[in-house]
């Protein structure tokens, strides 16, 4: 999950989707609320809503040519309003900040498969992704199907957010996607440096945060994000590449 977050986050940041990443995770909230009412897996509910959200963002963006951040911003506010009505009390806190409970075997298996799919997609599509972020028109003339690539990236992004919902919750998962990429961006001079750095920070934060949370007997989400945030502060000490 951390590797997928590091890779997707790198491209999300370079595509200027950093705010969208944070807002996007909130789109899961109504899905979690509906799943709780129907007594089905909240993870499945959140993930379904995220994928629907990604499709909506893609369609609205293409039809109206409004920037991704604006569309996500509107969708996020509405989702948060609907979600807060549907979920309440303990459930809401768990959805927002992640739960402490352990994953079922089915959930863990599905999570690993989804993470592997996201990682394979990003590594395979990395050439197309960097060309299209430099110029969608150059990408078009290089034989890249830009619209399809944008849709796949949004879906991979939604899937990555979904992966962390149970662990970090709606409020914090966006941070695990963006902060490691932000650290790597300050230090890297090329794509491989960016991807490797982002994955390293995401894995380190997740591992150390989970360990610290276990010692403290608290939820892991806040620890993971605090460690990632600490690494970002450390990265500020180093001058950005010229």
Partner 1 sequence: MDNVLEVEGLTVRLGTSDVIRDLSFSMPRASSLAVLGPNGAGKTVLLRTLIGALPPSSGTIRWAPGTRFGYLPQKLDIERNLPISGWDLLLAKAALTSAVDSDVSRALSDVSLPEDVLAQPVGTLAGGQFQRLLIAFALLGHPTVLLLDEPAAGIDAPGQTQLAELVRRLQTAAGVSVVLVSHDLSVVYRYADRVLCLGRTQACFGPPDVALTPETLDAIYGTPVAFHRHDESLH
Residue ranges in contact with partner 1 by CB under 8 A: 14, 126-128, 130-131, 133-138, 140-144, 184-186, 188-194, 240-242
Within 8 A by CB and 6+ apart from 157, the residues are: 8, 12, 17, 21, 24, 54, 177
Comparing CB distances to partner 1, the nearer of 85 and 236 is: 236
Tell me how far, at minimum, the Cβ of 239 lies from partner 1, in Å. Answer: 11
Tell me how far, at minimum, the Cβ of 185 lies from partner 1, in Å. Answer: 6
Comparing CB distances to partner 1, the nearer of 76 and 121 is: 121
Comparing CB distances to partner 1, the nearer of 43 and 201 is: 201
Comparing CB distances to partner 1, the nearer of 108 and 138 is: 138
Within 8 A by CB and 6+ apart from 207, the residues are: 2
Dist. CA 10–CA 3, nearest whole Å: 11
Dist. CA 220–CA 218, nearest whole Å: 6
Comparing CB distances to partner 1, the nearer of 80 and 130 is: 130
Q: Do residues 146 and 140 make contact, with C-beta atoms less than 8 angstroms apart?
A: yes
Tell me how far, at minimum, the Cβ of 130 lies from partner 1, in Å. Answer: 5
Dist. CA 176–CA 25, nearest whole Å: 11
Q: How far does CA 38 lie from the centroid of its chain? A: 26
Tell me how far, at minimum, the Cβ of 137 lies from partner 1, in Å. Answer: 5
Tell me how far, at minimum, the Cβ of 98 lies from partner 1, in Å. Answer: 30
Dist. CA 59–CA 67, nearest whole Å: 12
Dist. CA 212–CA 104, nearest whole Å: 22
């Amino acid at each position: 999950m951390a590797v997928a977050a590091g890779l997707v986050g790198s491209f999300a940041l370079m595509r200027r989707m950093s705010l969208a990443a944070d807002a996007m995770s909130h789109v899961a909230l109504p899905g979690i609320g509906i799943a709780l009412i129907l007594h089905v897996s909240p993870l499945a509910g959140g993930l379904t809503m995220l994928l629907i959200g990604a499709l909506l963002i893609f369609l609205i963006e293409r039809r109206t040519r409004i920037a991704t951040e604006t569309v996500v911003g509107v969708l996020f506010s509405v989702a948060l309003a609907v979600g807060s009505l549907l979920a309440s009390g303990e459930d809401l806190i768990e959805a927002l900040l992640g739960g402490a409970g352990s994953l079922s075997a089915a959930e863990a298996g599905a999570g690993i498969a989804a993470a592997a799919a996201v990682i394979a997609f990003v590594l395979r599509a990395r050439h197309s992704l960097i060309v299209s972020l430099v110029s969608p028109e150059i990408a078009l003339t290089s034989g890249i199907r830009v619209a399809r690539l944008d849709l796949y990236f949004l879906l991979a992004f939604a899937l990555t957010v979904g992966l962390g919902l149970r662990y970090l919750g709606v409020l914090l998962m966006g941070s695990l996607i963006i902060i490691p990429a932000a650290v790597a961006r300050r230090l890297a001079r090329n794509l491989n440096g960016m991807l490797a750095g982002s994955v390293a920070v995401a894995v380190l934060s997740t591992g150390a945060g989970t360990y610290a949370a276990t010692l403290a007997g608290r939820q892991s989400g806040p620890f993971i994000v605090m460690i990632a945030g600490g690494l970002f502060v450390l990265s500020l000490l180093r001058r950005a590449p010229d």
